[in-house]
Amino acid sequence: MLVLPAELTHSQANTCLGMLREAVRAARAEQVLVDASALTRFDSSALAVLLECRRDALHDGKPFAVRGLPARLKELAQVYGVRELLNELPEPASPVAA
């Protein structure tokens, strides 16, 4: 699983995308899964990074999904008409203590 940083704005976008691209190419998993739950400070560049990562994954024949999208980023994706491209997965259920 690939993990986004807490901050992903225009100034970090190219660096973050470069690291994600390397990770996608090196990944042996059949699916590229990005965890966005750490994001606390972001702008529309975060969407651009996720969409480029998706494009790279699909180019390599790997399905792409995102987990933990912050509500505000979901809203941005909806406004830009790309929310369905992010293939958001639900958070895994917490184990129940016996």
Q: Identify the CATH number of the domain in which residue 9 sits.
A: 3.30.750.24
The number of domains in the chain is 1
- Burial of residue 20 (CB within 10 Å: 0-12, 13-18, 19+) is buried
The verdict on residue 97 lying in a domain is: no
Find the mean pLDDT for residues 11-39: 90
The verdict on residue 96 lying in a domain is: no
Q: What is the pLDDT of residue 96?
A: 56
SS3 48: helix
Q: What is the pLDDT of residue 89?
A: 82
Q: Would you say residue 74 has pLDDT above 80? A: yes
The verdict on residue 85 lying in a domain is: yes
Global pTM value: 0.87
Find the mean pLDDT for residues 34-51: 95
Q: Which amino acid is at 15?
A: T
**Structural domain boundaries enclosing 78:** 2-89
The verdict on residue 52 lying in a domain is: yes
The verdict on residue 49 lying in a domain is: yes
**What is the rounded distance in angstroms from the CA atom of residue 18 to the CA atom of residue 40?**
20
Contact call for residues 44 and 77 (beta carbons, < 8 A): no
The verdict on residue 98 lying in a domain is: no
